[in-house]
Homo-oligomer: A and B are copies of this chain.
């Protein structure tokens, strides 16, 4: 449970930044070298590397250096964990909205019956 909570902390923390989300989005399409990942962003390589380190520390991506090229890939389990948590919440509030709708409908039918 502790581990589950800390992996959610890490996933949501890593995703709270548009550059990091864009990197994750790019990597869902397949692994990529750092140089290619950095290209679309208007920032220095040191700043960009900081974002990659956050993503790696938070477990959303992994990387390996072969020769002079570091290649990154996405860890889909951590993303899946965050999505599961959010979909559980949606199910809870949808169940509640459905119950409310049922209640309103019952009350309305009763009002119509009473009036007739």
Contacts and interface: CB of A to CB of B under 8 A. Distances in A.
Task: Please classify the interface of chain A as helix (H, G, I), strand (E, B), loop, or mixed, using the class held by over half of its residues.
Answer: helix
B28 A93 contact: yes
A74 interface: yes
Contact of A86 (B74, B82, B88, B96): B82
Contacts of A13: 12-13, 16
A16 B18 contact: no
A67 interface: no
A99 to B, nearest CB: 10
Interface of A: 5, 8-10, 12-13, 15-18, 21, 24-25, 28-30, 74, 76, 79-80, 82-83, 85-90, 92-93, 96
